[in-house]
Every structure is written in C-alpha cells, then in structure tokens.
Structure 1
Amino acid sequence: MTAGSAPPTSVWRGPYLWVTVGAVAMIFLAATQALAVTTVMPVVSADLDGGALYAVAFAATLATSVVGMVAAGAWCDRGGVLAPLTTSVALFVIGLVLAGVATSMEVLVVGRLIQGLGTGGQTVALYVVVARFYPPAMHGRVFAAFSAAWVVPSLIGPVLAGAVAEFLHWRWVFLGVAALTLAAFTAVVLRLHGLPLGTDDPSRARIGLRLSLAVAVAAGALALSLAGELGAYALIAVAVSVAVIILAIRPLLPARTLRSGRGLPSVVLMRGLIAAALFGGEIYVPYLLIDEFAFSPTWAGLGLTAAAIMWAVAADVSGRFGDRLGNTRIAVFGVAQLAAATAAVGATALWHLSPTVLVVGWALAGGGMGLMYPRLTVLTLAYSTPHNQGFNSSALSISDALGSAVSIAVLGLVFTALGGGQAAFSAVFAITTVVALVALVPGMRLGHAREAI
C-alpha cells in the first residue's frame, strides 16, 4: 500500500480524502457532460446548421475513447500513472473548449473526437490510480462511489443542461465542465505527486500494434453507428463493421475473453454483455413512454429516475457487502434483475400494460447493474498485477463501450426495419432480455482472485 501503513478506515478520510473527492468529481463531470450533450445537441445542431453531422457528434466520442483507453492502459503499464492521467485530462479539456467555442459543426465534431481520447484515457488511468493508491480492501468502496458518480447525473444532468442552455448558452455546457474538471484534477494530482505509483516491472508490450488495433476498433465502431444511414446497404455495413471489430479487438482483451474463459476473461465479457443489455434498451424506455403512452419528454426522462436511484443504492451494497455475497450470487441476482426489467418493459409494450409496470420494472435494471458493475471492476483489479493493471482496465472499458455501441446500432436497425411502434419496441426488449440472460454464462465463471481481503 502506497498511501501509508495504517489500517484502512474510509475512502473519505485521512490520506485518501482528496484523491477520492477529486476522482469522483472527475467521473461525475464526465457523466454529467455526456448526458448534458444529449439534451442540448438539438440546440447546438440548429445553431450551427449541422443536422447532417448530428449522429457523428455522438459517435465520434465513443469511437476515439477506445483509442484513449488503450493508449492510457499501455502507458500506465510501462511506468507511472500521473503522466497518462494528466495527458488524458488535458485532451478532455481541450476537446471541451474546442467544442465550446466552435463556430461550425465540423469544428465541434473535431472537439468531440479529441474529447473522446481524453474520456477513455481518463477512465482507465483513474482505475489504475485506485489499484496503486488504495489498499485492496477499499477497492469496492471506491468503485461504488464511482458507480454512484455515473448515476447521479442522470437525475440532474438533463435538467441542469437545459437550464444552462436556456438561461446562459449551450457553450457553457462544454466550457463549464472543462473548468470544473481542471479543479477536480488539481485535487487528485496534488495528493498523488511524489508518491511511488509506478511499477517495478514495466510492460514491454508493443504499444504501436495495440494502438493500431484500437484505431481499427474505433473505425469499426464509428462505421457501425453510421450504418443506419446507408439504407439498403445497412446490413452489409453492420456485418463488415462487426467483423473488423471482432478481428481487431481480440488482442486488446485478455486471452479467451470471447470464449468466456474462467476468471478475468469472463469478467471482461460479462461487463460488455450487461452494458449491451442495459444501454441498448435504455434509450428506448423514454421513447416508449412518449410514443405509446403520450408522456411529455420531462416525465419520460423522470421514468428513468427510479433506476438511477436503485443503481446508486445497489452499488453501495455491492461495495460494502460484495465479499460476503460472493461473485456467483452477485452475478445471479444482478442478471435476474436486469432480465426481469427488460422483460417487463417488453411485456408493457406488447400488451400495453400500465406504464407503472415499466417504471417499476426498469428500477430492477438499475438495481442489477449497481450490484454487478462495481464488483466486476473490483475483480478486474484483483486479477491484475502492477505490470498489467493498465491493459486489464482498458480491456474492461473497451468491452463496456463496444458492448453498448454494437447493441445500440443493431437494435436501431431492428427498430427501423420493423417500422417502430408496438412490435418494434417488443422486439428490442426481447433481444435485450436474451442478451442479459446470456451474461449469466460468464457470470458463473467469474471465479475468485484477491478481492476478498
């Protein structure tokens, strides 16, 4: 343990306080910005006359985040963590500032591309900070706090972004987060400066090859997100994009990941599958409430609030009692809740049940994800050594991002092919239910590493 020899007490006390505050704030701001952009992008697009690049503005950040994840992970494995973290934060801030001052949609997209590099690298570097600064017994608590930091913005982000755009200007959605991120980063770097956070056995992995593969994965993810614009050629574009992603991603993941090998490979695979089930389906929850039940956009967004609250509560439970519950129970309970949630939404669409069934049912999705998400991150670090913490953390993040991207793209094609409406919504949630249940396969093969200390 690098932070001192005293027994661990709380991540919010003593030598851990300011690192926890700063790191959680950075995660919170990144999540808030992502949700805020979703809210204000229609205003941005109209202001910059950029309707043709609307989808690209979202896909760009996701695609380049994969490159940032790989670069930061490799850099961390070859030495310390402060340099990759600082570079990632710098790219994130530069991208935000460029987007905030953009006078054309093309410039904004460039800013979003740069921002994605920083977003991916920042997440991986913070995971490595947790691995090298906090004792293993604290990892569950830290990742529970990170998980809550991702969830809380779903309660306030859209409303706050709308207020900023209405009463100030949409540019402050970008510029404000940039300024606050620098303040949060300062709290982290001042505490970590001078501490021995490097590795005694630097990795000699071929970074150039890994970066080339990451670029190929990013290109495949970007093409996949745009496939729906190609009309009759959409399915061909999807097939080619998925093939490129599968071929390029294998060396970026632990061996046997795609075959659900026991231990770390299953941890990484399960993360991608549950992300695909939740985030692929989640974008259709408010859509269903608006289209089929005549909810207003505000009330439809609030329909996700129960899931956000349950995620935060379950993440705290996972952080406090994860070792006592055990990995298999967490996987079973989490997958059961996620599958029940997607099935409840699908049944609501198919039989036009009360929207209360949808809202209450979707809360189960938040509870399941809150149990599983932080636990899978704890397991990833538990299966890691100092010289591969970066690689394994980036693999987990890549699986997360690509699971979501592939799911969103494929479900979008299904929804469009069925022409929207009751049948399309039912099909979308039937698919996500199957994906959630498939996640139980790696969930039963998670094993145990050094997480129970």
Structure 2
Amino acid sequence: MSGAERAPRADTDLAASGAGGVWQARYFWVTLGAVAMIFLAATQALAVTTVMPLVATDLGGDALYAVAFSGTLATSVIGMVAVGAWCDRRDPVLPLATSVALFVAGLVIAGSAPSMEVLVLGRLLQGLGTGGQTVALYVVVARVYPPALHGRVFAAFSAAWVIPSIVGPLLAGFVAEQLHWRWVFFGVAVLTLVAFTMVYLRLRGLTLRIDDPGHAPVGRRLALASVVAAGALALSLAGEAGAWTGVVVVVALIAIALAIRPLLPPGTLRARRGLPSVVLMRALIAGALFGAEIYVPYLLIDEYGFSATAAGFGLTAAALLWAAGAEVQGRFGDRLGNARISLIGASLLAAAALVAAATAAWHLPAWTIIAGWSLAGAGMGLMYPRLTVLTLAYSTPQNQGFNSSALSISDSIGAAASIAVMGLTFVALKATDASFPAVFLIAAALAVLAVVPGLRMGRVAEAGPADGAVTGPATVAD
C-alpha cells in the first residue's frame, strides 16, 4: 500500500471521513486547542508589535529593536528543523509539548527581563518554540484529519488571527498602561499552557506514529539550520558594522543561501515546478508582507501622530480581510485553482504595498494606507492556507515533518531577511523622505516576483516522483 493510501493508525473516529467538518465531536477538542494556540501566537505577535516601542524605551534598547523581531524568526528555523525531523521519526505529541515548553519559557524570560539584551534572549528562545510548534501542529493536522478537511483546518488557523487583530492592539495598550508591558508576555504564557492541554488530552490516547519512519541525518540539518539562523541574525545586526555593513550583508546572504538549500525541497531556489515552487512562493510573500507590515504602524506614529495603540488598528482591516480571503480559499479554492489564486493574491499584495508607498511619498491621508493595506490581508488570506494545503498534499507520511518544516523555514527566513534588508534601507534613508516609500517598494517587488513560482505550483494529482510528490487529493488542482 502506498504512502498516499495508508492512513496513520488512529482511533476509528479520527480516521473516518471528514463529513461534518472540523468542529464535529471527533475533532472538536483538537481543533479548539490548536486554533487557540494559533490565536495566542497571533495575539502575542500583534501585542509585542504594539508595545515594543514602550519596551525599548523602558529598557533603553532602541539599537536592538529590529533584532527583537528578526531574532525570533531566525531561531525559529532551528526549532522547525529539529521538530520536523522528530515528527518524521515518531508521533508529533512530544515534539509539540517540547515546543510549547520552549515558547512559554521564552515568554517568561522576556516578561521578566531587566534589560533589552535579556529580553532579546527570551525572544530567541521563544523563536525555537514558535518554529517547532508550527511544524508540529501541521503534522498533527496531517495525521489526525482526513485530506478533505485540511483546507478547512488551515482556513480556521488563518481566521484565528482576526480577533487578535481587532482586540490585540487595544488589549496590549490597556495592559501596558494599567498593569505593565510585562503582562503582555506573562498572560500569553499562561493561556498557551491551557490551550495546549486541550490538544494534549485528546491526542495522548491516539497512535499517530507512522509505520515506516524516515531516518534522515538530523545532525547535519540542525547544523545547517544554525548557520541559517546565524546568517539571519548577522543581517539584523549588520547596521552596527559601520563601514563593513555591505560586506556583512553579502556574506550573510551567501551563507543563508548555501545553508538553506538542503533544508528545502530540491530546486526550491530555482522555482522548480511542484512543491519547490510552493515553498519558494511562501518565502517571497512572507518577506513582502511581514517585512513591510511593521512599518505601517511606524508610519502612522511617526508621520501622522497616532498613539501606539491607535496605530495598531491600522492592521485590523488587513486582518479582517485575511480571514475573509482564507474563508474564500477554504470554500472555493479548488474551483479557483492554484494559478488564479496566486495571480489574484500576489496582485492584491503588490497593490497594497504600492498604495502604502504612495501614501508615504505624497503624504496622503492616513486612511489611505489603512484601507490600502487591507488588500494585503485579502491576498495573504487566499494564498497562505492554500500553500499549506498543497504542501501536505505533496507529502507522504514519511516526509510530512520535513516538508512542513521546509515551508515554515522559507516563511521565517523570507520574513527575517526582508525585515533586515528593509531595516538597513530604512536607516540608510532615514534622513530623507524616501525611507518609508523605499521599504514599501521593496515589498511590492517581492510580491510581483512571487508570481513566478505561483504559476509553477502544478497539479498535485499529476505530480510525479520528480516533484517529490505522491498522488494527493483529487480536489487539489489548478
């Protein structure tokens, strides 16, 4: 029996068909707990974006501001690789538990940090847990839910970002003002443990180990992941190198490109048809969105006098349309097809970046960038869950961990490298009026470039061994 036909051994209910959706009794607690974990990760990310200016001022750490973001993304690569390999060798429950422990420990360290250096250390540890948690949840989805429900699960994950986007900035500002910014970290830590308990209690009685586990060399992959993470951190700190900044940037980018290749499907950097293009597109759109997104509230504060909390609401419309796009993808993605989703999604993302650039360049009203940036959310809602569904459809039970980690690695490194490069560009042009427009134009260029792999993602049902794929769900096609 082929890997595509063999289901992991689970109880009869969980191995049944997807009739009834992801909220039926047999999946309810897994869905609820997993969505809650995504919800809390989103809450934490948006809350930290809102309060980080206060943190940097309180701890005197303006020089490490960007590293507090990009460092978390960089170390997440190590967590992704370790947990991906771990999941390919056994069931995903213990890897998920370990990832949650690291994530919570990082939050506690950051929340109690006496200096910006210690806070960054906590954020680096948090990144290890975040990366591992993401991959482990993807593998849980692959082994617990039937393929027919994968699109619905990832649409629910995307929708879990909506409420944090609405209440997250306001809640973070309220907590920082009424209690302290430290409780933004402590509160998420406690609630994450509650959410994980929901998932753990349902999964611990299941047999999710596969029959023929993979035996890829883990040590080499971890070493390469460490080089990638170090390269991303070097990019973030390149601005401190003075006259050597350009050299540090070039060396770091070369190191990342060389070390990341074995961690991704063969041909990813060449946009090879099939899974490699899926992974490459994820890196490009993540770089475009997350690299530019942190400058949206920055622009509203710096140029329009918004408070930190009010500026956070500049991202709310984008989050709402992200959820709407994810719902459209979940219901009509097969009808739209991969190529059309790629074109529409990338076009919306590029348009949002161009509107933001025009707003910054010509000092248009603040509502222009708020409304324009919502297009980015719509585009990402269409593309993001679709890319995850395709990754699982291209996978066998033996490489679900590797492929899920590859997708997450491309996501994090695309975002981390973009944040670093945009940050260097922004600082270099800070004395001019071109700083904000330049950042958003870089994002627009990445979105346009994403169309290339977007048109080469292929039909899963037609993918052959050359694509590293097996026969996937018949519904996943162009």
Q: Note closer, same or farther for the CA distance 1:190–1:442 as it changes in structure 2 (3 Å cut).
A: same
1:33 is displaced (CA, Å) by 1.4
Contact 1:337/1:367, CA 8 A, preserved across alignment: yes
1:76-87 equivalences under 5 Å are: 76-87=87-98
1:203 and 2:206 correspond: no
For 2:129, the aligned partner's letter is G
1:68 corresponds in structure 2 to 79
Whichever residue aligns with residue 177 of structure 1, its letter is V
Question: Given the alignment of the two structures, is residue 258 of structure 1 paired with residue 255 of structure 2, yes or no?
Answer: no
Distance change in 2, residues 1:361/1:101 (3 Å): closer
Partner of 2:160, secondary structure, is: helix
Deviations 1:311-337 (A, max 9, x none): 111111111111111111111111111
1:337–1:192 distance in 2 versus 1, CA, 3 Å: same
TM-score by length of 1: 0.95
Deviates more, 1:195-204 or 1:369-378: 195-204
CA distance in 1, matches of 2:59, 2:301: 27
Measured after TM superposition, the shift of residue 98 of structure 1 is 2.6
2:168 to 121, 137, 157: 157
Cα distance change, pair 282–171 in 1 and its aligned pair in 2 (3 A): closer
Aligned counterpart, 2:417 = 406
Match of 1:28 in 2: 39
* Partner SS, residue 176 of structure 1: helix
Q: 1:136 aligns with which of 147, 157, 162?
A: 147
Who is 1:276 aligned against? Answer: 287
After superposition, where does 1:290-439 map in structure 2 within 5 Å?
A: 290-439=301-450
Q: Is the 8 A contact 1:92 1:115 kept in 2?
A: yes
SS at match of 2:433: helix
Q: Which amino acid aligns with 1:58?
A: F
- Give per-residue Cα distances to partners, 1:12-31, cap 9 Å, x unaligned: 12111110100011111112
- Shift of the 356–58 alpha-carbon distance from structure 1 to 2, 3 Å rule, reads closer
Q: Which runs of 5+ in 2 are unaligned?
A: 1-6, 461-471
Between 1:157-166 and 1:233-242, the stretch displaced more is: 157-166
- The worse-fitting range, judged by mean Cα deviation, of 111-120 and 204-213 is 111-120
Are residues 291 and 45 of structure 1, via their aligned partners in 2, closer, same or farther at CA, if it must alter by over 3 Å? closer
Cα distance in structure 1, aligned partners of 2:115 and 2:364: 45
Matched residues in 1 for 2:15 and 2:376: separation?
A: 38
Tell me the residue number matched to 1:185: 196
Which 10-residue stretch deviates more, 225-234 or 269-278? 225-234
1:442 pairs, out of 446, 453, 457, with 453
Q: Which residue of the other structure, out of 124, 137, 155, is the alignment partner of 2:135?
A: 124
Counterpart secondary structure, 1:304: helix
- Deviations along 1:145-191, one digit per CA (max 9) or x if unpaired, are 11122343222222212222222233322222111111111110111
Q: TM-score, normalised by structure 2?
A: 0.90
**Secondary structure of the structure 2 residue equivalent to 1:223:** helix
Range with bigger deviation, 353-362 or 338-347? 353-362
Q: Structure 2 CA distance, aligned partners of 1:8 and 1:420? A: 59
- After superposing on structure 2, the runs of 4+ consecutive aligned residues of structure 1 that deviate more than 6 Å are none
Q: CA deviation at 1:237?
A: 1.2
Q: Distance in 1 between matches of 2:292 and 2:181?
A: 28
Please tell me the root mean square deviation across aligned C-alpha atoms, in Å.
Answer: 1.9
Which of 98, 102, 125 does residue 109 from structure 2 map onto?
98
Residues 18, 149 of structure 2: 8 Å contact kept: no
Which residue number in structure 1 is paired with residue 467 of structure 2? Answer: none
Distance 1:7 1:432 in 2: 38
**Contact 1:8–1:135 (CA<8 Å) still a contact in 2?**
no
Distance 1:357 1:451, change over 3 A: farther
Report SS of the residue matched to 1:365: helix
CA 1:362–1:53 in 2, change beyond 3 Å: closer, same or farther? Answer: closer
Q: How many residues align?
A: 453
Q: 1:298 to 1:169 in 2, by over 3 A?
A: closer
Structure 1 unpaired stretches of 5+: none
- With over 3 angstroms needed to count, the CA separation of the structure-2 counterparts of 1:356 and 1:108, relative to structure 1, is closer
8 Å contact kept, 1:323–1:452: no
For the 8 Å contact 1:139–1:378, the answer to whether it is kept is: yes
- C-alpha separation in 2, matches of 1:391 and 1:233: 36
In the alignment, residue 32 of structure 1 is paired with which amino acid?
T
Shift of 1:442: 0.3
Q: Displacement, 1:79?
A: 1.3
Identify the residue that residue 257 of structure 2 maps to in structure 1: 246
CA distance in 2, matches of 1:212, 1:180: 33
* Alignment check: 8 A CA contact 1:31 1:150 kept: yes
